[in-house]
Each structure stands twice: as C-alpha cells, then as structure tokens.
Structure 1
Amino acid sequence: MLKFLVLLVLSQSLAFAGPREEAQDILLRFKDETSLTKRLDLISKTFVGLPYGQGGPLGEGPDGRYDQDPLYRFDTFDCTTYVETIMALALARDVAEFEVHLDKIRYENGEIDYLKRNHFTDLQWIPFNIENGYMTEINSAVTKEIKIAEALINFPNWLRKIKISEIKMPNASELERQERLEELHAQAEYYTSSMARVNYLEINMLVKKPQLLNKIPTGSIVNFVRPNWDLTDLIGTRQNISHQGFIFKRNNVVYLRHASTTGKVKEEPFLDYLKKFVNHPTMKGIHLMSLN
C-alpha cells in the first residue's frame, strides 16, 4: 500500500511538470541520502511498475538530427535508459549535474550526437564508462571462473539496416524522414567493423553455486551476455549483450531490478531469473560492474 501511495504521489506531482522540473523533484526527495548505494536503491525502486519503453524512449532531444525523442524522461524506460537514468540521478545533487552525468554516461565524451551515442553495450557503453571513470568491472570479486565473449560488431552494416521507423522526427514529412534516413545510411562509409570482447560468469555455473550470488555487491550493474549473438538479419550485426539491470539485496535475498521486455520496470529474485536461462541456446552469462 505504501509503495502504491509513493508511486501515486510521484505520478501526480510530475503529471504537469517538464523534464527538468521532474528531475529536480526526484532529486529533492532523496537529497538527504548520502550513500551512493542507498541512493541507487531508493531512486530505482521509485520507478518500479512503470511501463517498458518500446523502440527506445530516449533520443537527442528536439535538435536531434535522426532521433528527436527526449534526452531524458521519467514515465517509461527500456533496460539501458533505466540504468543510465538511475546512475545519473544517484550521482547528482542538482539538475545541471544530473544532465552532465547522463550525457557522459550515454555518449562518447558526453557529446550529444546520434553517432556518438553508446549504441552497443559491449563495444561502447562498457569500455567508455570504464575509461571515463564512472564504472569498474567486478566479475573477479565473485569468482575466478571467468569466460570471454567475442563478437565482431559490424557498425557499417548496422547503420545501413536502420529503418525509417527509427527516424524520430515528429514534425517532419515522410519525405524529409526518408531523406534523413538515407543520410544516416550514407554515414556507414566512415565506419569499420570492430571486435567487442566482454568477460562473463556462466549462468549454469552460478545456478549450481548460488552462494556466489551473495558476493555480488548490492547496487551492482549486471549485463546479460549472449556470446556472438547473431542478429545480422535483424539489425545487421552480431553482438554480445542483450539486457541490463541492477542487483540489490534485501533480507538475505539477491534481487534483479530492471526494465523488463515483459512490459514494465520490475524486481524479481535473481536466482529465479537466472534459472530461466539454464542451458539456454544464446543467453550464457552475466557481466558485473560497480558505479564509482
């Protein structure tokens, strides 16, 4: 009941506010909490129950060349925008700081540009956020039984496979959107394929040794690994990672909190979630990171 009332109050207070006012309201609610881990927990819990954002709910804002979805919003999330938004909120004390953190987490060098966005978790999001100091890989804190996933990310072919439905320009005509799509496709000639490598812990091993899950620090970010996952027909390339979320502990139970493709932001026992993928043909492991 209390959780419902919190969501109701939050939704009512944000109903008529713009994104910056919404961000300020959220930050004010948690201004007295100084622990980063606790801020991650409390802020991320606030959005449990909100709908999953199909098709990528964020873009480069009204000035974006190819995707004019908002730079941030708080009414819907996909798995990555949920993780990014919570990270930036937890690190910030005011809206300006939140916006700076979010841009640096989402974009190479914090430069707001579709072609600078960290579209591939394995090739861009993980290494860039380690390089810029936001995150640290922590797989070895759980076990030394570590494997490596490798996939050749065909970035040019991915660009050529982008569909007109992904050109988000609400005030543009169909012809203008088609011209912008052709422009984006033409950018492919300036890019090359790159090998992405990511360490991971096997799901089968973790289910057999569930005590290892207790070694995962609360507040960790988890990336779900599908080694060399072949999505060539769908998006033009292979990749290694398909999903992201947070790990939290409560009453000696390890939970996964994530924006789920089943329809909403939710929380569920992590072991139960992992058991769904024992001997799965593509989903093989998890990769763990901590927010610095």
Structure 2
Amino acid sequence: MKNKILCILFGALINAPFCFPRQADSLLINTLLHKSKCVSFNSGAERLLYFANSMKGIPYQGGTLDRSSNETLVVRTDSLDCTTYVENVLALYLASAKQNPEYRDYIESLTRIRYRDGKIHGYTSRLHYFSDWVEDNQNKGILKELTTHFEHETIACPLNYMTEHSHLYKQLKDNDSLLSVMRHIEQRWSEYEMPYVPKKLLDLPASEIKIKDGDILALTTSIDGLDVVHLGFAIWIGDSLHLLHASSLQKKVILDDVSLYDYLKGRSKHTGIRVIRVE
C-alpha cells in the first residue's frame, strides 16, 4: 500500500502515469548521471556513447513495456530490448545536460522520448512505429534524421503491421476501440515513402560513409507493414562500422564483433539502414 501511494504521488509530480521505481533502477540511473559530471566530453556524441557503453552486458529481454494492461511509464535497467536500450541512453543523455541531474530528470526525459508529444494517454500514445517515433522526436528538437543526406533509395512503406497482426499484441487483440485508434495513427503513414541506405552501400570505403560514432542506426526491413526491425548505435572500429546494440542473439547489450555490413548481408529481410543523429 505504501509503494502504491508513493507511486501515485510521484506520477502526479511528473504529470504522467508511473510505476514506483525499483531501488536498483533509480540507484543505477543516479549513479550514471552523477558520474557523468566528473567526465570531460569533447562532444555530445562522446557523452551519448558514455551512457551507451555503460549499459553493455545488461541482459536482453523483449516485451517489458507490454506486461501491464494499463499504460504506465516502465523503467527497467536490468533488462533491455533494442528500443528500450536506445530510449534509456537518450533519456540519460538529455537528463545529464542539467546542472545537477537526478532521477526525476531522467523520468521526464524518458516520458518525453517514448510518448507522442511527451504525454501518456494510454497504449496508443506510445510511439510504436519507428518512423512515428523519429518524426515526433525530431519535432521536439531531440534528434534529426539524416538518411536523405546520404546516397539512398526510397520504398513505399505503408505502416499497418500492428493492426494487420493485432493477435500478436496483448493490448490490441479483442479491443476494437484501441484497434480503431491504431488504424487512425497508421492512416497517416498509408502513403509513406521511406528513405533508406541500401546495405550494399555499407561495403564502400570508410571515407565514403559519413556515418559518425553515436549515430542511431535503424535497420530497415522488407516485412510488409513495418519500417524497421532493430536499432543500435554506430561505432567505428578502425575502418569498420559496427553496431552497439541490445542483441537478441547474444542475449545482452554488446558491441558486435562483426561489421554492420557483414551483419546485414546474411539477413535477407534486412534491406539497409536509416541514420539518425542526436541534436
């Protein structure tokens, strides 16, 4: 009962539905924020990667945001999937810009990143599709998509996977009201032409690939109704581009030891990448 009351009070303070933090999560977040203030960074990208690297080794686990029937802000630092990994790193990065950052700053940043207009109004207010997520966070001034700045192609990519496969989503199946709202959201993307950098271009010499350390890389797909299937951060190792990500194959956050080109070329449904840079 005590934790439930504290949960309600804390949620009211940040103006969002929120599950009271586990001590381990808040302790880790505060520790990372405080330690970051003792490091001299030469660029925003260095600061971003400081947090990205700090989460290496955390176990992979999908579906952590969908366990409750009520949409609340979920904070998990003991397990991550590719999306929650990127969101947690971004939230830490934004919070660390404060003079004396605390856990509350991280919570406010995570809410702002994860939800449309930074406000939690049920399941459909979460930015489920990557293209929607990018557009919303670009409008907030958090990041900028640079895909069209590179040699790229476009492909018709109507987003409708969630409603076409609603049985895969606990909140959508048997809920006609939520399905209707999701269809309305998807309708905005019914004629979407998605830009992407074809994976064959990642085999070019490093001097011709203008991706920078810390760029968010979104792996595009040929699966009908979907735009991307995986996220991570760009890391150069010598002249080889690699992905720092929450790996479902390795079951943890890793810096992949194979190049991004080699990672993609063996996966037939992976068509290429989109490039996002944090402002």
Note whether the superposition's TM-score is higher than 0.5: yes
C-alpha distance in 2 between matches for 1:206 and 1:250: 14
Where does residue 4 of structure 2 map in the other structure?
none
**Could you tell me whether the CA contact under 8 Å between 2:245 and 2:255 is conserved in 1?**
yes
Q: Is structure 2 residue 65 aligned with structure 1 residue 58? A: yes
> Which segment drifts farther, 101-110 or 30-39?
30-39
**Could you tell me whether the CA contact under 8 Å between 2:124 and 2:178 is conserved in 1?**
no
**Matched positions, count:** 244
**Could you tell me whether the CA contact under 8 Å between 2:138 and 2:144 is conserved in 1?**
yes
**Which stretches in structure 1 are left out of the alignment for 5+ residues?**
1-15, 168-179, 231-237
C-alpha distance in 1 between matches for 2:47 and 2:194: 28
Write out aligned runs for 1:49-88 (5 A). Answer: 49-54=57-62, 56-58=63-65, 65-66=69-70, 71-88=74-91
3-state secondary structure, aligned to 2:144: strand
Write out aligned runs for 1:1-292 (5 A). Answer: 17-33=23-39, 34=41, 35-54=43-62, 56-58=63-65, 65-66=69-70, 71-93=74-96, 94=101, 95-112=103-120, 113-122=122-131, 124-141=132-149, 143=150, 145-154=151-160, 157-158=163-164, 160-163=166-169, 166=170, 182=174, 184-190=175-181, 191-192=183-184, 193=187, 194-195=189-190, 196-207=192-203, 209-211=204-206, 214-227=209-222, 229-230=223-224, 238-262=225-249, 263-269=251-257, 272-278=259-265, 280-292=267-279
Instruction: Specify the code of the residue in structure 2 equivalent to 1:259.
Output: A
Where does residue 171 of structure 1 map in the other structure?
none
3-state secondary structure, aligned to 2:229: strand
3-state secondary structure, aligned to 2:270: coil
3-state secondary structure, aligned to 2:46: helix
Structure 1 residues 158, 116: CA separation in 2 closer, same or farther (over 3 Å shift)? farther
> Which segment drifts farther, 244-253 or 86-95?
244-253
3-state secondary structure, aligned to 1:98: helix
C-alpha distance in 1 between matches for 2:239 and 2:263: 21
Q: Offset of 1:187 from its aligned partner?
A: 2.2
Structure 1 residues 38, 139: CA separation in 2 closer, same or farther (over 3 Å shift)? same
Structure 1 residues 32, 100: CA separation in 2 closer, same or farther (over 3 Å shift)? same
C-alpha distance in 2 between matches for 1:157 and 1:181: 9
* Aligned-residue RMSD, C-alpha: 2.7
Instruction: Specify the code of the residue in structure 2 equivalent to 1:219.
Output: G
3-state secondary structure, aligned to 1:215: coil
**Could you tell me whether the CA contact under 8 Å between 1:150 and 1:240 is conserved in 2?**
no
Q: Offset of 1:21 from its aligned partner?
A: 2.9
C-alpha distance in 2 between matches for 1:259 and 1:267: 9
The runs of 4+ residues in structure 1 deviating greater than 6 Å are: none
**Which stretches in structure 2 are left out of the alignment for 5+ residues?**
1-21
Q: TM-score, normalised by structure 2?
A: 0.77
Structure 1 residues 277, 254: CA separation in 2 closer, same or farther (over 3 Å shift)? closer
**Could you tell me whether the CA contact under 8 Å between 1:53 and 1:77 is conserved in 2?**
yes
Q: Offset of 1:188 from its aligned partner?
A: 1.8
Instruction: Specify the code of the residue in structure 1 equivalent to 2:261.
Output: L
C-alpha distance in 1 between matches for 2:260 and 2:206: 15
